[in-house]
Each structure stands twice: as C-alpha cells, then as structure tokens.
C-alpha cells in the first residue's frame, strides 16, 4: 500500500497516542470500528510516549454530570466561600475553617492537574502547563490568597472542559461522516441468506450482492460473472465484466445481476478501516504554525519561570521596604499570565475545528498540516474520469437516417434489450417503456461486434462499425471520426443511423471549475482518454490546459513540470489506482473517496467523501477560514499577555486579571475556534 508520509504508521492495535488537545481514535483490526478516547484520556509528549491520564473522561461512557461534577462542586464551594468572606461573615468561618473550605474547593479541579504535574516531572518535563498552574495556585494559598488560587485552577479546568466539548463535537462530525460507508452484507449461512454487519463476516464466507449494491468486502467471484462499475478503481469509465474466480474489490458497484462473492479479507482490512485510520493519525500530522507554537512554548515557558523567580528575589537588593509576600504575589501573577495554555490549546483546536467542519461537508483532511497547505494552493490538476465526470454511460446523441429518432431508438433498444452489456443497458434505459413488450426473435450475438435479430419483420444489426463492415454495409465516413462510444445500426442490410454514448459530466463540475477560476490561477485537466474527448470536456468546463492520451507516468511528468515553478503549490485531484503516483507527487493529493480506490485514498492527503468536484472549493474555503481564525487566536493571546504581564510585574494587576489573561483568553480563543464548525461553506 502506498503511503505518502514515511512517518505515518498504522496502529490498529497499539496503545492510543495523543498529543495535548487532540483526538484519539484506535482501530480494532477485526471489526474496523474505532475505539474512541475523549480528549483527556491520554496526554503524551511529542515523542509519542504514552501517559495514561487518571482523570480520564469518556463522554460516550460517562454521563455529562459526572464529567462536569468536579467543576460544579469547586464553583459552588468557591462562591460560597467568597460570600462568607465578604457578605455573610459567619462566626464559624475562622482562619482554619476558611483554609479547609477553600482547600475543599481546590481539590476537585486541582488534584488531577497536580497528578499530571508529578507525572511530567517523573518523565523529565519540568516546564509544563500543569506545573505552572500548580506552582501558581499553591503559591496563592501560601500567601493566603485562597479564592484567587481556587479561581485560577477552576477556570483552567473549565477551559479544558470547553476544549473537550469542542473536540467531541468535531469527533461526532467525523463519525457521522464515516457512517455513510458500507454497513451491511448479505451472507449465506446454513443455506439461508442473512443480512449482517460486514465486521461479522469471516474469510471464506459467501456474500450476495444485488444489482445496484456496493460490494462491502474484498473477495472472489463465485457466480458466472457480472458487470461492475469500477471507474474509481481503474480510471476507466467503461464498466468491466468480472468472471468466475476473478477478484472483486470493496467499493465496486454491481450493475448487472445478483452475484455471490467469496470473502478474502475481513472488514477491518477494508477501505473503511483505512479511512478510520486516517482520522486516528490526523492529530499527529501538525501544521507548521502548530509545530512552531509548541517549540516556542518549550523555550518561552522556562524563560518566564526564571523571570518570575527573579521578580521575587531581585527586588530584595533594590527596594528599601521589601515585602516577600508582595513580590511573590506579583511573581505568581506573572506565572499565571505566562502560562501558554491559550496558544497550546486554542491553536490545535482551531485546526481540529477546521478538520471537523470539513468532515461535516464530506471532506476528510488527514492532518492539520494539509489543512494549512491547502490554504496556499495556487495550481489544481484534475483527472477527468471519475473526478469531473460520473464514470457511467449515458446516451448523448441519436442520428437516424430513414426513420424518426423515436422509431430508430425503439428498434435499436429492442435488439439491445437482449444483451446485458452496460452500453446496451444505457440505450434500453434511454428508450424507457417503449421496449417493454418488444418482440425480438432470432437473436444472434456476434462476439466483439454486436447483435443481429429480427424485429417486426425486419433484420436489425446493432453494434460497432466492425459489424457493418462484416456484412459489407456502407456507412458515412464521418461516423469513424466520432470520438464518443458509438452504436451503429442497419435495417435490412441498409445503414440506418447511430447512437453515441459517453461519460457524463458531474452536475457540479462546471460550477466547481468556475469557482476555482476565482482564486486559483492555474487549472489543468489530465486524462487517459482520447485527446478529442478531453478537448470536448475542457471546452464545456472552460479549462485551457487539457491533456489526453496519458498513461500514469505521463501524468507524473506533467505534474513534475508544474512543480519546477517554485511559486506553485500544486494540488492533484484523482480517484483511481492509476492516479496514486501523481497523488503522492503533488503538494496536496486530493482523492475522490466515495467510490475511490483504496490506493488513491491511502496516498491522498485529502479525501472528498461525496465525490463532488465542488467540495474542492469548499476545502479551500475551510482552509483559509481556519488559518484566519488561528492567526486571530495567536494575535489575541500574545497581545493580552504582553499587556497584562507588564501590569503584573508593576504590581498593577491582581490574580483576577491574570486569570483573564490566561484562562479568559484561552476560553475566547476556544470559542473562536469552535466558530469554524458552525460556519456554512
């Protein structure tokens, strides 16, 4: 299997690995189902080491009140304590009772963070947000600023809950998207056909696939044969016939008759499991902005800790009336303000919000780095078949010489109704009810040429031009110049006309290309089809650069030519196995994943689940919006911190201002990031 990222690993049965503020979904290899962890279930450092969280929450396994109960208890005790301090002032609220009261308020939210701080120290990570919050809040208790100490930790916990809720919202969007994948299989057990979930089907069992159904699992054909829509797997629009003993792949659509297939791979190894794996690894592929902030915080945090220490100690040598508790309080404020939570939390959440918004729109980004890179794309190269076109046959033109078009179509369709070939089915479908009761006799199939039959007393020939040549029937020379697939016909040994059949453009293809022209200066179409067919499609779609007669290696050469221009960031959109090399080569590989091949989906960086070209434009819009929101969060966090840091060092800011500068800004940034998921694109 081709994989573009050399560091990307499939971890179906490994322990969950999750960076702070990201989503983790583990895949069960047998069932293909995700084992979902909530945001807080595991934190790890950037080298991927596991760190099981004792205060883990799983919102799917616990009721909401249990998750929010610690914060609710802490808030209630804090507000009661403040009321006792300032308004009620009961006699029993003495110094030791007061201390015990605020410790009781602190522990529900503070104890889990203190445990994280201890674990981080055990792993050699001294300067983390957990340690900063612990030092600042315990220090506040040391100088008897109990309400401030509780408030800082409480609001930090609330920020974490906000983040968890935002991540779970995006997670649900992704899971809802994945629910559209094949979810049933008709399996033969004990001589009875039973509809079951695909994950329960074992290797060697027989499944039945009806006409129009998608094959749910890989296997081998047990029936005599059938026609399958394999456009996404082969890059060809013409359906292929699969005979007994040949391989049938998950994602193919049976277009002919009921068939039986012997399963050769379990559900967990199908395209569904691979897509779930993409979701699992999306969090590990980080955008450059996100990576920079994490690296920056590793340098920034120890510096501000040192400054806080200096802010406590140095005034002793320069201030006449030095009061230790006063300067310690300022240093604690400085520490709370300096905590990089707003950046470390809101920026990954911004990108994850973009990934969640994309998933709701049928677009799957494999990582925030690709979401970031999509914002820079200024050249789009697209495959034709299966990407801009449907990959199915439709009647395009009817040319009748002697009869009316209606009579001609009825005669040809009557003869073609005796064939199961997809082209014949397209003509019959076009004719509609007119051929339901057609009386056709003496049907003879001439292999590789077409059909000969009697219809209403006339001898009808219907097939390709080789059929007419075989019977020495003259036909106009311009027929040979027609680019589309063609069915010619003769009545009583005289040429009667032709019907052209061609692949049909997707409904939103023209609109999609038109929208791309507004923001993308370079649009190219590549195809393995005839140049004349490609030119025809390009003219309709208004694409100036269109190349046909290309093998996969030729497509690679075209993209390599574009990439020689260092100013171009190239995205390639394709759907078939033959597109996998180009998807891997491009800066951003986009696969049409609804019916796309496993190879294309695996190699691509972005998967369009709905197969709609217009979603390419949507992906670009989401990437630009996400980048804008992330930059807003960075600007907000830095601006507020710089201002309040200065005020805190000068003794003009209290712990409450510090809470706003840290947790308040984090909450605002989280709300701003959540906004992405609610936008319409």
Tell me the catalytic residues. 383
Strand partners, 242: 226
Max CA distance (Å), the chain: 120
Burial readout 549-581 (b: 16 or more C-beta within 10 A, e: otherwise): ebebeebbebbeebeeeeeebbbbbbbbbbbbb
| Cα 390-391-393 angle, rounded to 5 deg | 100
Radius of gyration of the chain (CA): 33
CB-CB contact of 357 with 677 (8 Å): yes
CB 382 within 8 A of CB 525: yes
Token pair belonging to 606: 């972005």
Report CA-CA distances (Å) from 69 to 39, 57, 109, 159, 515. 17, 12, 10, 15, 49
Element (H, E) at 608: strand 606-608
Collect contacts of 128-131 with beta carbons under 8 A, ≥24 apart.
128/301, 129/339, 129/340, 129/341, 129/344
Give yes or no for a contact between 67 and 60, defined as CB atoms under 8 angstroms apart. Answer: no
- Decide: 30 and 276 in contact? Cβ < 8 Å: no
52 DSSP 8-state letter = B
Half-sphere exposure of 483 (CA within 13 A, CB side): 12
Distance CA 414, CA 384 (A): 32
What SS3 string covers 115-180? HHHHHHHHCCCCCCHHHHHHHHHHHHHHCCCHHHHHHHHHHHHHHHHHHHHHHHHHHHHHHHHHCC
Sign, CA dihedral 471-474-478-479, equals negative
Q: What is the DSSP letter of 127?
A: S
Q: Which residues pair with 209 in a beta bridge?
A: 259
Measured CA to CA, the distance from residue 665 to residue 14 in angstroms comes to: 36
Which of helix, strand or coil describes residue 188? strand
Asked if 442 and 454 touch (Cβ cutoff 8 Å), the reply is yes
How far apart, in whole angstroms, are the C-alpha atoms of residue 228 and residue 637? 55
Write out the two tokens for 646. Answer: 């200065």
């Amino acid at each position: 299997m081709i994989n573009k990222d050399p560091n990307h690993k499939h971890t179906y049965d490994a322990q969950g690995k999750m960076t702070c503020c990201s989503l983790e979904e583990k895949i069960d290899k047998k069932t293909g189902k995700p084992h979902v962890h909530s945001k807080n279930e595991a934190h790890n450092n950037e080298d991927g080491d596991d760190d099981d969280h004792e205060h883990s929450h799983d919102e799917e396994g616990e009721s909401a009140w249990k998750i929010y109960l610690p914060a609710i208890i802490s808030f209630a005790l804090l507000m009661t304590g403040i009321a006792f301090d300032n308004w009620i002032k009961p006699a029993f609220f003495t110094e030791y009772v007061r201390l015990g009261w605020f410790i009781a308020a602190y522990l529900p939210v503070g104890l889990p963070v203190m445990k994280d701080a201890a674990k981080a120290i055990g792993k050699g990570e001294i300067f983390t947000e957990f340690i900063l919050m612990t030092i600042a809040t315990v220090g506040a208790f040391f100088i008897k600023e109990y309400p401030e100490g509780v408030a800082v930790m409480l609001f930090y916990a609330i920020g974490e809950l906000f983040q968890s809720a935002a991540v779970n919202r995006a997670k649900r969007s992704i899971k809802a998207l994945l629910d559209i994948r094949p979810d049933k299989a008709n399996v033969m057990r004990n001589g009875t056909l039973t509809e079951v979930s695909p994950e329960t089907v074992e290797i060697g069992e027989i499944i039945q696939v009806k006409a129009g159904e998608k094959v749910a699992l890989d296997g081998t054909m047990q029936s005599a044969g059938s026609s399958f829509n394999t456009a996404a797997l082969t890059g060809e629009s013409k359906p292929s016939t699969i005979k007994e003993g040949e391989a049938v792949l998950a994602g193919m659509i049976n277009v002919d008759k009921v068939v039986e297939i012997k399963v050769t791979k379990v559900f967990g190894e199908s395209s569904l499991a691979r897509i779930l794996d993409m979701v699992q690894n999306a969090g590990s592929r980080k955008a450059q902005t996100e990576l920079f902030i994490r690296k920056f915080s590793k340098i920034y945090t120890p510096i501000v800790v040192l400054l806080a220490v200096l802010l406590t100690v140095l005034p002793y040598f320069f201030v006449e009336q030095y009061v230790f508790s006063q300067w310690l309080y300022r240093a604690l404020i400085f520490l709370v303000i300096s905590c990089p939570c707003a950046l470390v939390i809101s920026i990954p959440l911004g990108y994850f919000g973009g990934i969640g918004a994309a998933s709701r729109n049928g677009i799957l980004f494999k990582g925030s780095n690709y979401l970031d890179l999509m914002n820079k794309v200024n050249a789009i190269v697209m495959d034709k078949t299966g990407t801009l076109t449907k990959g199915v046959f439709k009647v395009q033109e009817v040319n009748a010489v002697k009869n009316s078009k209606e009579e001609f179509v009825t005669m040809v369709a009557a003869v073609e109704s005796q064939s199961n070939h997809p082209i014949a089915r397209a003509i019959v479908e076009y004719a509609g009810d007119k051929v339901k009761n057609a009386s056709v006799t003496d049907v003879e199939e001439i292999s590789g040429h077409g059909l000969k039959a009697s219809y209403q007393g006339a001898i009808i020939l219907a097939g390709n031009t080789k059929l007419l040549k075989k019977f020495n029937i003259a036909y106009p020379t311009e027929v040979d110049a027609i680019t589309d697939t063609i069915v010619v016909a003769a009545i009583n040994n005289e040429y009667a006309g032709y019907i052209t059949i061609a692949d049909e453009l997707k409904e939103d293809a023209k609109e999609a290309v038109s929208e791309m022209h507004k923001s993308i200066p370079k649009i190219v179409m590549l195809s393995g089809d005839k140049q004349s067919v490609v030119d025809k499609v390009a003219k309709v779609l208004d694409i100036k650069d269109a190349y046909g007669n290309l093998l996969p290696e030729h497509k690679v050469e075209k993209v390599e030519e574009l990439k020689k221009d260092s100013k171009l960031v190239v995205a390639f959109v394709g759907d078939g196995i033959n597109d996998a090399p180009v998807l891997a080569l491009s800066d951003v590989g986009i696969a049409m994943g609804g019916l796309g091949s496993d190879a294309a989906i695996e190699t691509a960086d972005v998967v369009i689940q709905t197969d709609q070209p217009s979603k390419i434009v949507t992906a670009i819009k989401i990437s630009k919006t996400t980048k804008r929101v992330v930059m807003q969060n960075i600007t907000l966090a830095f601006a507020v911190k710089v201002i309040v840091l200065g005020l805190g060092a000068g003794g003009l800011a209290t712990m409450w201002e510090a809470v706003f500068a840290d947790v308040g800004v984090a909450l605002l940034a989280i709300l701003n990031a959540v906004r992405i998921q609610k936008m319409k694109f």
